[in-house]
Amino acid sequence: MTRRRLLVAVAAGSALAACERMAVGSGFLESLGRWNARVDRFLFGPARLAGELPPTATTPGNAFPSYFISDDMPFPPAGWTLKVGGLVARPTTFSLDQLQQMTRIDMRVRHHCVEGWSAVASWHGVRLREIAEAVGADPHAGYVEFRSFDSGYWSSWDRESALHKQTLLAYGMDGENLMPDHGAPVRVYSAVKLGYKMVKYLTEVNFLAEPSGGYWEDQGYEWFGGV
């Protein structure tokens, strides 16, 4: 650990110790959450890259866990499209074909689940930063919201993580089109976030001035969710 990171960790510990001496109200908890987010942004900054792995490290597809929150596996509605809006100059609706015509990025990285397991797969798709440029995302929109057709699943991210070079709108896995159990036709995939942050079955991307929580985050999971 570098000296700078050690100082950040010590400061974070001091802040947590202060919790024991302060009345815990909603305002204080919100302040603590913002503090934690600042520390996370420092430790998991946009310059940090996850190492890419060789094909021999790949987890067999049937051994790579998947989940959804609907009672049955979600399937895309007829005429599926992806709406990109919020604080943008040009709200745009993209078809899958249009996304596939944009610059394709491939990466093979380790996937980390909050439950403690990990797996390796290759993913391909378009960087969200290319979408942001296409729609003219407002530079003051500090957050990005992802919404799903999986019973309304959603998550919101900090802009830096969303526009990280290893964050994709993925439409393929292990060289094939994305399968329904892994979020077809398009999902968020990032090498810098825990699995619950990566919204599958994507339908909307919105650039926002404030975070909008998330399905698991509103149930107590850490909002930043970095790895």
Q: Does a structural domain hold residue 226?
A: no
The pLDDT of residue 9 is 47
In a domain? residue 198:
yes
- Answer whether residue 45 shows pLDDT above 90: no
Q: 145 lies in a domain? A: yes
89 and 17 within one domain: no
15 and 117 together in one domain: no
Assess whether 12 and 82 both reside in one domain: no
In this structure, what CATH number is given to the domain that contains residue 110? 3.90.420.10
Q: What is the DSSP string of 23-91?
A: ---HHHHHHHHHHHHHHHHHHT-TT--PPP--GGGPPPGGGS----SSSS---PPTT--EEEEESBSS-
On whether both 150 and 78 belong to a single domain, the answer is yes
Which domain range does residue 172 map to?
55-219
Task: Say if 174 falls within a structural domain.
Answer: yes
Whether 117 and 214 map to the same domain: the answer is yes
Shared domain for 70 and 97, answered yes or no, is yes
Assess whether 15 and 88 both reside in one domain.
no
**Confidence at residue 23, expressed as pLDDT on a 0 to 100 scale:** 44
Residue 86 burial (CB count, 10 A): 20
Question: By three-state DSSP, how is residue 9 classified?
Answer: helix
Highest average pLDDT, of 46-60, 63-77, 96-110, comes from 96-110
Query: Is there a domain that residue 227 lies in?
Result: no
Q: Find residue 205's DSSP bridge partners.
A: 84, 146
Residue 134: pLDDT above 80? Answer: yes
Q: What 3-state class would DSSP assign to 164?
A: coil
Number of domains in the chain: 2
The chain-wide mean pLDDT, for the chain, equals: 87
In a domain, 48, yes or no: no
Examine the domain organization and report whether 36 and 141 are in the same domain.
Answer: no
The pLDDT, as a whole number, for residue 85 is 99
What is the reported pTM? 0.82
What's the mean pLDDT in 100-126? 97
Higher local confidence (pLDDT), 3 or 92:
92
* 49 is a domain residue: no
Average pLDDT over residues 120-124: 98
Residues 11, 99, single domain; the answer is: no
pLDDT at 220: 95
